[in-house]
Amino acid sequence: MRNHKVMLLLTFGIVLFAFSVSVSAQAGSSTNRGVLVSPARLVATVDTGDQLPPVLVKNATDSRVEITCYVGRGEHRWNGSPLYLDSPAERAWGARYLGLDKNKLELEPGESDAIVATVGDVSDIQGGLYPVIFLEITPKGKREGAMAVSRLAVLTLLQFAGSRPSDLTVTTLDIQQASPGEAIGVYPLVTNYGNVHATFSGYIEIADVAGEPLSRLPVQPVTVLPGCSRQLALSWQPESLPVGMYHVNPHLSAGGRPIEAGQWAFRVVEPYQVATIQGELVSWYPKQIYAANTTPFTAVVHNSGTDAWRALGALMVMDPMGHIKARVSLESGEILPGGSGELTGVLPPLSPGRYVMRMSLSSEGVPLLDTERTLDVMAGDTIARQ
């Protein structure tokens, strides 16, 4: 079996799962420790037919155990806690992409064995594969009282040779304070839009209105799977917090590549009491227009922060080469927290083709949103592509 292509990073953690038995059964022996597995996680760069390192299983209990082995799939929640996906469909998926040399183990007390997994045909998978090796453990022999079947999981993070780096983005960043005088909580959410897992780290910078850094909150390495998000929970408690505006800037990277992120801000309205300034786009119109006509433009924005603001900015219409063909100034009235408001303008006549509309808004110098949409300018009933 081929294994020369496999580049490995093994986390040699030992996972101990003790059986749930009655008190009287546990009291009879001090050696009933459970089943030990190593490694608890496999990280590898693989191809079809590659073999993973063996998973060592040891029976550290005082009785014989039977272990059923099968493969499911893994994801995780925002806080990083794992989601183990196990169903008939997931087991069929797992057996297709990761084959085990053993589906059942029977171990006497103190006895050890190994499970070896081989990567199946992954030609139809892009980027990476995230199966979970499940071991379902049943005690054998006569025991007193009730007992439960235990199950443990070995996580596998598999990346295919030559796959592209993941596309990570800081999608949102919440700023919270439980009450005046409490620490400032900073909660960035990082989403993986790519096809492979990635580990990111760095820091979150808090700066004053002039851009002078006040604090850097370190971010330890965090792994995020494709299609999943991880929310960090950071805290800042300065000795003093004068009234004014503060900027929050993420500086995160994965594999040496910076992660795309915007700017966020909060305002201190009373000493040591914060108010966040944040906006979201609800909708805009139009997406298609006719050539040689002026067209009204409308966007609806929502105040998702805790402080009122007025949005100022511009809508730019650019051709595929990035040349600006039109610029429309935008301004809203005051929008209260939790409320929404309209920004309106008029698009000038444009030649047929496909354009990019980019809307950038801020309030007192604090960025609110920066987003793009396509605009098709039609000649009659046909869009003339540029």
Find the CATH number of the domain harbouring 293. 2.60.40.10
Residue 4 has pLDDT above 60, yes or no: no
Task: Give the span between the Cα atoms of 291 and 141, in whole angstroms.
Answer: 82
Residue of 262, 266, 254 whose CA lies nearest to 230: 254
Residue 57 pLDDT: 95
In a domain, 239, yes or no: yes
Cβ contact 166:128 at 8 Å: no
Residues 233 and 303 in one domain: no
Residues 292 and 260 in one domain: no
Last residue of a domain, one of 160, 190, 220: 160
In a domain, 216, yes or no: yes
In a domain, 221, yes or no: yes
Q: For residue 345, give its domain range.
A: 280-383
For the segment 117-139, the average pLDDT, to the nearest whole number, is 92
Banded pLDDT at 134 (limits 50, 70, 90)? very high
Residues 36 and 115 in one domain: yes
Residues 178 and 46 in one domain: no
Residues 265 and 284 in one domain: no
In a domain, 2, yes or no: no
For the segment 279-297, the average pLDDT, to the nearest whole number, is 89
- Convert the pLDDT of each residue in 325-375 to its tens digit: 999 999 999 999 889 999 999 999 999 999 999 999 999 878 888 899 999
pTM of this structure: 0.68
Residues 225 and 100 in one domain: no
Task: Give the span between the Cα atoms of 88 and 292, in whole angstroms.
Answer: 59
In a domain, 335, yes or no: yes
Distances (CA, A) of 319 to 198, 371, 377: 34, 16, 11
Residues 147 and 176 in one domain: no
Residue 26 has pLDDT above 70, yes or no: no
Long-range (24+ apart) CB contacts under 8 A made by 207-216 are 207/246, 207/247, 207/248, 207/249, 208/244, 208/245, 208/246, 208/247, 209/244, 209/245, 209/246, 209/247, 209/365, 211/247, 214/238, 214/246
Residue 240 pLDDT: 82
Residue 129 pLDDT: 92
**Highest mean pLDDT: which of 6-20, 91-105, 277-291?**
91-105
> Phi and psi (nearest 5°) for 7?
-105, 125
In a domain, 366, yes or no: yes
Task: Give the span between the Cα atoms of 143 and 64, in whole angstroms.
Answer: 11
Task: Give the span between the Cα atoms of 127 and 192, in whole angstroms.
Answer: 12
Task: Report the domain count for the chain.
Answer: 3
**Highest mean pLDDT: which of 18-22, 41-45, 363-367?**
41-45
Last residue of a domain, one of 218, 244, 276: 276
* Angle CA 38–42–46, to nearest 5: 140
Cβ contact 264:248 at 8 Å: yes
Last residue of a domain, one of 160, 181, 201: 160
Residues 375 and 240 in one domain: no
Residues 191 and 268 in one domain: yes
Burial of 198 (0-12, 13-18, 19+ CB in 10 A): buried
Residue 181 pLDDT: 81
- Convert the pLDDT of each residue in 156-193 to its tens digit: 999 998 888 889 999 999 999 888 888 899 999 999 99
In a domain, 1, yes or no: no
Banded pLDDT at 23 (limits 50, 70, 90)? very low
Residue 217 pLDDT: 97
Residues 221 and 86 in one domain: no
Residues 6+ away with beta carbon under 8 Å from 81: none
Banded pLDDT at 29 (limits 50, 70, 90)? very low
Helix (H) or strand (E) holding 26: helix 23-27
Residue 320 has pLDDT above 90, yes or no: no
Residue 148 pLDDT: 56
Residues 306 and 271 in one domain: no
Residues 272 and 292 in one domain: no
Overall residue count recorded for the chain in this entry: 386
